[in-house]
Amino acid sequence: MKKRLLIGVIVAECQINFQIEILKGIISQAFKTNCNIVILAPLHNFYVNNTHKQAEKEIFKLIKSRRFDGFLYDRNTFYDEGVKTYIDNLLIATGKPVMLLDSQEHKLFESTAIDDCTAFEQITDHLIDVHGYKKIYCLTGPKKFFVSEERMRGFVTSMKNHGLSFRKERCLYGDFWKNAAEELAAKIIRGDIDRPEAVVCGNDISAIALTEALIRGGISVPEDIAVTGYDASEEGKSNIPRIASYRRPNFQLGAEAFRRIYRLITGKICRKVRDEMGNFCPAQSCGCDNPPLQALSRQDRMLRAYEDDILHRDMLFDITNTSNPEDFADRLDNYTYYIHKMKHMNICLTKKYIDCKNGKLTDSLTFETGDEMKVVLSKDGAFRRFDNITFFSSEDILPDYNEELPYPLAYFITPLHFNDNFFGYSSISFGKLPMSFSELYLHWINYINVALEQVRIKSILDKTIIKASHAMHYDNNTGLLNRTGVKKEFSKRISELRKKSDNVEFIRIQLSGLNDAQYQGDDDKCSRITSAFAGFIRECIKEDEICGIWSVYSFAIITTRKNRSEEIYAHLSEKVKHSRFSENNNCNINFTIGTDIQPLFAEISPGTCLHKAALNRIYSYTVTESAENPQYEKLCLLRGRIMKNPELPWNVNDIASELYLSKSYLQKMYKQYFGKSIIMDMIECRLEKAKELLTSSDMTVTDVSKECGYSSYNYFVRQFKAAEGMSPSEYRENK
C-alpha cells in the first residue's frame, strides 16, 4: 500500500465554532486526497500565562517527528508571542513545508487567507443601503494584524463607495475581545466621542460585549445604535438582541490551505471538495427582524445532557481513586462515552510517568520527542483494544501509524499534564467524519489531568509505606480478595487451571440496586449489604475457583467448571430473596450477572475478560418482579440461556413444556418482564452475536450466518438489514 502523507495541524481552541469549520475543511480535503491528519490541539490559547498552561506547549515537540510531511499552522489562535516564536522555531528546524492560515506575510512560511475585506464591505453596505445609516464606526482587532487590517479595509471601501466619512476616529483597533468593546461603549455613554448610528465589530465576542455595555448605560440596541458582528457564532445567535453577523467561509479556508500545502509537498493539484460559502446573517441588532430559531439538533441535546452529567456525577472521584495506571485505565474506560461520535481513542503515558512510582514527589516529569510511550487505554468506539501493551517511541506519534490503515484518519493529540509535570497525551479520532471535539472534551481531559496527578502521588506514597500482605490483597469489608489479589491469584494458578480445562469462565456480579437514589449517601448501609451478599457468594464457591471483589459493588469469579453462571444465579437469587426476612443479613436487592469464556491456551488478562463479562449480562434479578411472580427466576434463567446460546433452535412450544407453562402464559409473562417476545429476543441476540463476529473475526458473512443459527443466508441478510439499515458486508466495512 502506498504510504499516505501525514500533515500536522497546529491550532488552539478546536472546540470553537469557526475553528471547527476550518478543521472540517482541512479534514474533508485530506480524506478526499487520501492523506492522514494529526492535529496538535492544546486546550488553551495561552492568553493567560501560568505554569500549567505553559506546560501545554511541550506537546509541540511532536513537530520534530519524522512522520510529518508538512504543516498547517493557525498562528492567530495563539495569543502569547513567546509561544508563537517557540512553535515557529520548531517548524523552521524541521525543514518541512509550512502553510499559515489567515496570517500576515512571514519570511519563511506561505499563507492562505479568506477574503474578509469583501465580507466587511457587504456588512457595511447592508447598514447603509438597507437601514440608511451614515455615521458608522468600525471596531476591528489589533493594529497591523492581517485579519484586522483586511476587515478594516472592507469597511473603508464601503464607506468610500457611498461617499461617507470614514475619519480616523471612526476606524478603531481593539483586541478581538471584550475589553476594547467595553471601552468604546464607555466613551459613547460618557460623550467622549460622537454617538454613532451603527458599529461594525470585528467578531461576535466584541459585538456582544458592546451591546451589553451600551444597554447597561441606557442606550438601546438597535433603536439608538445598531451593532453587527462577525463569525455567526452560537453565542451571537442566543444573545438578546440577536447579533447580526457574517458566516465566514471557514470551511473553504481549511480546504484551500490543505490543497496548497499538498501542492507544495507533491507538486500535484488535488481535486477540490465542495465549497461551503459564507453569507451575511441579518438579525435584530442591526434593525432587521430575527430569522426563526432552529430547534436544537439531537446531537446538541445529547451534548448538553452529557455536560450536565459529567459535572454532577462521580467520574472525577472514580478515576482519581486509583494508585496505578492500569486501574486508572480500567476506571476511565467507563467514561469514554462522553466523547460524542468517537471512533478511535488512545491514552498514551510516558515511560517516565509509568516509572514515577519508584521516584520522589519532587521529581520533574519532562517530555522530549523520542521518549518511550505506552498506550494504557485504547478503544475502537465502544470496544476496548488490549493489543498495545508494549512501549513505542513518541517519534512515531501513535502505534497506528506503524500499521497499514484501510482509510485515512484525523487524530486530535491533546497533552496530559499537571502544572509543569508532563504525563503523555490523549488521541481521539472520529473515523471518517470530518469533525472536531466539543467543549465537553475539555472537561473530560481536565478531569484526567487531575486524576493522573493523584495517581502519581498515591503510587509514590504506596511504594514508601510497608503494608501487610492481607491488606494488600484482601478487601476489609468482605474478607474476599480485592482486585489486586484476584489478578495475583489468577497469575499464580494459571498453570493449574490449564491442566483442568481448555476454557476458563470469568463471571462478573454487579449489585446494580446500590446505584439507586435510596442508597446514595448511606455508605454504612451499602457496606452491610455488600458484606452480606459476599457471604452468599462465599457459600457457593468451590475450592478450585477464584473469587473476589473487583470494584465498588462488583464481584468476580474465575472458574473452569461448566454452567457455573447459571448455578450461581440460581443460588444467589434464592438466598437474596429469602434474606428480606433477616434483620442482620437483608440484601434483597437487584443484581446482574455477566460472563465471558476464554481459551486457556491464549494470553489472558483478567481485567479484559471481566470488562467483557460486565458488558455481556445474561442474568438480571429484580426485587419487585421476583416478589410478585415466582415464575420470574425461571424466566430469567431462560433468558440467560438464550443470550448465552442464541444460535440454538429455540422453540416456544418446547420451552413452554420444559417450564410446565402454557404457551400463551409463557409468551405473555416473558413480554411483560422483558419488553419483547422470546423470538424477538432470540433474534436480537443472534444479530448482536453477528455484529461482534463481523467486527472481530475474518469469518465470511455466510459462515457468520451459520454460526448465529441461520439456516438461510438470504433470510439472515434480510433480517440484519431490517435491524441495522445496512447489509452485513456494509456494516463490516463501516466499522
pLDDT tens-digit profile of 493-531? 888 888 888 889 999 999 988 876 556 666 777 888 888
Confirm if 315 and 335 have CB atoms less than 8 A apart. Answer: yes
pTM above 0.95, yes or no: no
Residue range 129-152: mean pLDDT, rounded: 92
Distance, CA of 338 to CA of 361 (rounded, Å): 32
Averaged pLDDT of the chain:
87
Of 426, 423, 424, residue with least CA distance to 453: 423
Q: Are strands 226-228 and 198-201 parallel, antiparallel or unpaired?
A: parallel
User: Does the bond joining 241 to the residue before it have cis omega, within 30 degrees of 0?
Assistant: yes
Predicted local distance difference test score (pLDDT) of residue 468: 47
pLDDT of 467: 47
Domains of the chain in start order, with CATH, are: 6-114+252-286 (3.40.50.2300), 116-248 (3.40.50.2300), 301-464 (3.30.450), 471-628 (3.30.70.270), 661-735 (1.10.10.60)
| CB-count exposure of residue 583 (10 Å: 0-12, 13-18, 19+) | exposed
Tell me the three cell numbers of residue 161: 463607495
Alpha helices in 295-439 (DSSP H): 298-312, 315-320, 325-332, 351-354
Q: Is the dihedral of CA 632, 634, 637, 638 positive or negative?
A: negative
Cis peptide before 728 (omega within 30 of 0): no
Neighbours of 351 (CB within 10 A): 14
Beta carbons within 10 angstroms of residue 734's beta carbon: 11
Alpha helix segments (H runs only) across 162-249: 178-190, 204-216, 234-238
- Report how far residue 360's alpha carbon sits from residue 296's, in angstroms, rounded to the nearest whole number: 50
E-strand ranges in 50-191 read 70-73, 98-101, 110-112, 136-140, 171-173
Q: What is the per-residue pLDDT across 349-402, written as a single tens digit (0 to 9) for each?
A: 999 999 988 888 888 899 999 999 999 999 998 888 876 567 899 999 998 877
Q: What cell does 380 get?
A: 475502537
CA nearest neighbour of 381 among 731, 145, 629, 6:
731
267-313 pLDDT tens trace: 998 888 887 677 899 999 999 987 766 655 666 666 666 666 766 67
- Residue 617 has φ and ψ, to the nearest 5°, of -75, 125
Is residue 245 within a helix (H) or strand (E), and if so which, with residue range?
strand 245-247
